[in-house]
Amino acid sequence: MNFIRKIVSPAKKEDEGFYYELKKLLNFSPKKINYYKKAFTHRSLKLKDKKGNPINYERLEFLGDAMLGSIIASYLYKKVPKGTEGYLTQMRSKIVSREHLNELGKDLDLIQFVKSNFDKELVGNNIYGNIFEALIGAIYLDRGFNYCKKFIYENVIIPYVDIPKLEGKITSYKGLIIEWCQKQKKQYNFEVYEDSGNENVKHFSVKVSIEGSLVAKGRATSKKKAEEQASKRVYFALQDEITKT
């Protein structure tokens, strides 16, 4: 027990449970546990250190994003020797997409470690991906590049990266529709407008027209989501035509 307390620096008994759970999650022994505590601290707590710097996961998220991107890029470069720059960039984007990172964070149940001032039952999806990246940043600062790479291989690349499946995965229906319209020299238009209706939460609606004809509509709580929803409907409405080209 004394040995464990020396590892968990500073030696706090309340950190021991967190240490054991973290070790089980990481599949290796963390050394400086404060990095990990910071990785799971939400800014809603408004914590600051002695110098007045904020204590939350956002800076670690930035670092983890960079580490994840570089390790995935290195993997793809070696795995697909004939891949062009554009192909490799697209494949990396699919692996580190916000949607995928959110799924990874959920699979690892990272929300259980988060300290915040909000109800975890009402949390948005993006926090899962954010804390997943922050955790990677903490691993890098605590144990260095090789442990960071090991964690990413065990939790991202080995279980989830399937090159043939990724090649057929669509990450942006809007981007696909725009690209198809441009190649086919078709005029397109995304008409976005606020549509709150009788709800308290603001919604946005989108109409997508091609060659002056309305093809599909979408509605969501953000412009981006509404555009993506409408674009997905356009894709399935014109799928036969789009996949031929």
Catalytic center residues: 65, 133
Locate 153 and state its tokens: 């291989």
Number of other residues whose CB lies within 10 A of the CB of residue 204: 19
Q: Tell me the backbone φ, ψ of residue 163, rounded to 5 degrees.
A: -55, -50
- Cis previous bond, 10, omega within 30: yes
Q: What size, in residues, is the chain?
A: 245
CA distance 60 to 63: 5
Residue 191's SS3 state is strand
Dmax (CA) of the chain = 73
Residue the block writes with tokens 């993506």:
228
Q: Tell me the backbone φ, ψ of residue 116, rounded to 5 degrees.
A: -160, 180
Q: How far is CA 146 from CA 94, 126, 151, 155, in A?
A: 23, 27, 9, 14
Strand order in the sheet with 204-210: 188-194, 204-210, 213-220
